[in-house]
């Protein structure tokens, strides 16, 4: 039973990416707003831990 489920999942995953098609690439470079948000979250977590 598990082999059937794993095989079906593997087949679904290979059909997600199609040949001869372009896809957008997400990169963390130049993501200054995201970096600032993450820094604020980390600072808030650190201050809660210290309280």
Residue 20 is encoded by which pair of tokens?
Answer: 């001869």
Residue 13 is encoded by which pair of tokens?
Answer: 């995953």
Distance CA 23, CA 20 (A): 10
Distance CA 43, CA 49 (A): 10
Distance CA 41, CA 45 (A): 6
* Per-residue model confidence as pLDDT tens digits over 9-48: 777 766 677 778 888 888 878 889 989 999 999 999 999 9
Closest CA to 28 of 16, 36, 19, 20: 36
Q: Which residue has the higher pLDDT, 50 or 13?
A: 50
pLDDT of residue 13: 67
Counting every residue, how long is the chain? 51
pLDDT of residue 7: 80
pLDDT of residue 21: 86
């Amino acid at each position: 039973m598990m082999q059937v489920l794993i095989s079906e999942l593997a087949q679904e995953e290979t059909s997600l990416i199609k040949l001869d098609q372009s896809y957008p690439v997400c990169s963390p470079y130049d993501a200054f707003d995201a970096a600032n948000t993450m820094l604020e979250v980390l600072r808030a977590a650190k201050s809660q831990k210290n309280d």
